[in-house]
Amino acid sequence: MHAFHAYASGKDLPDKNSKAVLIVCPNWFGDSIMAMPAIQAYSRLHPETRLNILVKSKCHSLWTMHPDIDAIWNYPCNLAGLIKTINSLRKEMFHTAFVLPNSFRSALFPFLLHIPCRVGTAGHQRAWMLTDIVKLQSLLGQKHQCYEYMQIMGIKDKEVEPPKITIPPVSITHIKERFFHDHGISIGFFPGAAYGPSKRWPSDSFIKLGRILKESLQCNILLLGSSKESALCAQVCNGIGKEAVNLAGSTSLPELAATLSLCKLVIANDSGGAHLASAVGTPVLVIFGITDSEKTGPLGKNVTVLQNSDIQKRKLKRISKAATKNLRQIRPEHVFKVACRILNGQ
């Protein structure tokens, strides 16, 4: 196994005449999870096919928890890595590549590999690198972004299978021992959002909500996020006070998934954390600004969206006055009432 071919499942490796496809995955964490239903459907329809995915290193550990993936390859960081990765990928003898992101770089890899069938959408001056151009269609009842990935992969299902995440048992055991030995329920907070301020409910609103929840329910509040969000989570944690714990950046991704699976509720911004929480089956309350929740909201039956906006955009600037205004109009007291209804199974 090569150093850059960092993961392979327990399935037997195929001979050189077997079928193999390459799936170029989205770069954003939430988008990767939204792509899972299409990949799962393809795996179900083509069980004999070996599924390889190409991802950014930050998403690598996410896909180690997906049962349908046979091998994970990382985008190289430099020219030497590019040449080495291409040489190794050629040995897989792919017959098809599905390019899910709409970027020039994502289409470049399958082109350089000379994969016979290269499927994706046009745009970003990359159509010449693809052999099959998919023209996305807006179909009734299929507004969500996951249907775009399904169209690219040739899936015609009207029903979407929720994303599948298999959490390593050792991660669940480890997290239980570290953070879930006290009495009372635990509620997870994701006060950050990788995209930027236009998707973040104000930190003082998270603080006030945490205090209300703690005083009313005697619950534990877990602050969750990446290492880049540790300072923000520390601010919210300190503002809430006792019984709040900042875990941002202190867990691996499997451990974060385990933490979410053990929470009774997760309250999050429009972020990858919300998608992950839903994927592990935990009830999620997601606070949206002016992005289109029907297009990019987490998939699953246990998702509740709070949004106070008649504007719903797909594309949004990282700093948006309109988004900030709408987010501030969502009051902590209202979020608390909705949270209680979810916890009571309503």
Would you list the domain boundaries of the chain? 7-152, 170-343
Q: Which CATH number fits domain 170-343: 3.40.50.2000, 3.40.50.300, 3.20.20.100, 3.90.320.10?
A: 3.40.50.2000
What is residue 18's predicted lDDT score, i.e. its pLDDT? 52
Q: Residue 86: how many CB atoms within 10 A of its CB?
A: 14
pLDDT at 133 over 90: yes
What is residue 5's predicted lDDT score, i.e. its pLDDT? 34
282-314 pLDDT per residue, tens: 999 999 999 999 999 999 999 999 998 877 776
Asked whether the domain spanning 170-343 has the same topology as the one spanning 7-152, the reply is yes
Whether the CB-CB separation of 32 and 26 falls below 8 Å is answered with: yes
| Residue 12: pLDDT band with limits 50, 70, 90 | very low
Mean pLDDT score of the chain, rounded to an integer?
A: 90
Burial bucket for residue 173 (CB in 10 Å: 0-12, 13-18, 19+): exposed
What is residue 282's predicted lDDT score, i.e. its pLDDT? 97
Q: What is the CATH number of domain 7-152?
A: 3.40.50.2000
Q: What is the pTM of this model?
A: 0.90
| DSSP assignment of 147-191 | HHHHHHTT---SS-PPP-----HHHHHHHHHHHS-SSS-EEEEE-
pLDDT at 69 over 60: yes
